Amino acid sequence: MATLSRHVHQVFINFRGKDLRYGFASHLIDALERHNIKFFIDTHEQKGRDLKHLFKRIEEATVALVILSTRYGESKWCLEELTTIMEQAEKRGMLVIPIFYKVRPEDVRKQKGVFGDRFWRRAKESCPKEMEKWQEALKAVSNKIGFTLDHNR
């Protein structure tokens, strides 16, 4: 009898907590729970903790929701998770759905505007190799079909 691979979390939610945890993300979580969709969100994660356990959650997921906001690019955690998500999309076809929350896909793609300003501040504290992989991941995710939520929604 064949054993089927069972994913613990169907959806991995990648977002900048300072921007969205008690607003947009909380509404999204409520909707996922109402529809019995299993998801992982880093609500109880401790700053400075090893990211390996988060990468495991990404590997378990079949879908990643990447919620890009103005402060997203200042978070090394978000950028590292995004890099892993995009690797999983390439390696095993994980479905990645970007949600551009009050940022334009073009600003994410080219790291400009308010999004870019914050990203480049993070860049000053990072090595060129990290920057290159983050820029590649941001470009790849911004080229995917997703949702754009502007200031009026």
CB atoms within 10 A of CB 8: 10
Reduce the DSSP state of residue 95 to 3 states and report it.
strand
CA distance 23 to 26: 6
Q: Which residues participate in catalysis according to the annotation?
A: 81
Give Cα 14 to chain centroid, integer Å.
Answer: 3
Q: How far is CA 142 from CA 14, 61, 121, in A?
A: 14, 20, 20
